[in-house]
Amino acid sequence: MVRRDKNIPWEVIIRKFKCEISEKEQAELDVWLADVENHARFQSWQSLWLSIMEENMRYVSNVDALWKRMEERMRKAEPRMFKLSLRSFRLYIAAVAVLFFLLFSFAGYMTAEWYKASDAVLAYSSLNGKSRICLPDSTFVWLNAGSTLEYFVSRWTKERNVRLDGEAYFEVAADPDRLFVVEGGGVVVKVHGTVFNMKAREKQDHVDVSLLSGLVVVENHGVSRSLNRGETAVCKKSVPSIEKKTTDVSISCLWAKESLRFEKKTIYELTGYLSEWYGMDIRLDPSLPTDQAYTFTITHESLEEVLCLIAKITPIEYVFDEDNTVRITRK
């Protein structure tokens, strides 16, 4: 019989495995992981969890069967390392299994799906809005609407390689021994630990990489360039070239924020921010007034709600076109 250890933050660990951990919980977990023994425990449990998830590609429909495999591996590994009764541990992992099933089956704007090729691939898709995930190495990724991130589960302990279709904001956990590699639209980004935004949508003819902190290497069909903070790489998909620009990279990452505050901004100043926040092409009539300033905060409001608010102050009209464009004219 293994002993129970009340100091193990099981709820936080479960949320970590489910990729639902918050920044506050991650900080709490990091403190616990600072202990060498705790770190070894966590790595063992994480490897065990990933291997079982890899084997159960059709989702966990039989929890008892999953538990038998868990217990067998726990006994074969190092049972003294687990200072928790199997019965209690079973309850925790059963909860995780059920929650994983619910997550995969009923998630609203974010779905995670398994499919089997030569290896198990875990794919996260943000369908109708922004979503945030936490990868096994504690890297946080914000996915913009209509974006997908995927990686090979069985290879994760050896290499941190992911594939992006769409747009994502990365806060990469530092790891001097393993590069973090993102491939999207034929462009490859390599980092050890940094913060950057990558836009690699299938319908666009180029891929954009904007660096907020740290250092990244961008590769495009054999051409390689390093980016410094505040630089953006524009990579044409059809040609082996990388154009570097120095821009306000914070604007390209606005969409990943939880809220956006404006202080005395004109409608012309608002346009660039709103375009990035909502992923829309906003076109203004040059005759619109420039003397009106707006102060407000956006959280979960739609673009139409924001424009409706502006229209109550300023005489404007707006039309949403089918090509993801909004036209604003004087009323």
Inter-axis angle of helices 86-106 and 10-17, nearest 10: 40
Q: Which amino acid is at 269?
A: E
Q: Which amino acid is at 251?
A: I
Q: Which two tokens stand for residue 282?
A: 């906003």
Question: What parts of the chain have a pLDDT lower than 50?
Answer: 1-4, 57-64, 66-67, 74-75, 77-86, 101-118
Residue given tokens 């921010």 in the structure block: 273
Q: State how far the alpha carbon of 30 is from the alpha carbons of 12, 24, 46, 245, in Å.
A: 11, 10, 15, 36
Task: Tell me the pLDDT tens digit for each residue of 74-115.
Answer: 445 443 444 444 455 555 555 555 555 444 444 434 444 444
CA distance 124 to 109: 10
Helices (H), the chain: 10-17, 23-33, 36-55, 63-76, 86-106, 249-252, 267-278, 303-313
Inter-axis angle of helices 36-55 and 23-33, nearest 10: 120
The answer to whether residues 160 and 137 touch, using CB atoms and an 8 Å cutoff, is yes
176 burial level (CB within 10 Å; 0-12, 13-18, 19+): exposed
Dihedral sign (CA 114, 219, 257, 324): negative
CA distance 18 to 27: 16
Residue given tokens 């980092």 in the structure block: 191
Helices (H), 186-313: 249-252, 267-278, 303-313
Percentage helix, strand, coil for the chain under 3-state DSSP, each rounded to 5: 30, 35, 35
pLDDT of residue 214: 92
Q: Cβ–Cβ contacts within 10 Å for residue 211, how many? A: 24
pLDDT of residue 105: 43
CA distance 149 to 164: 5
CA distance 32 to 51: 23
Q: Which residues pair with 123 in a beta bridge?
A: 113, 150
Q: Give SS3 for 80.
A: helix
CA distance 7 to 179: 32
First to last CA, the chain: 77
Q: Give SS3 for 81.
A: helix
CA distance 192 to 174: 6
pLDDT of residue 164: 96
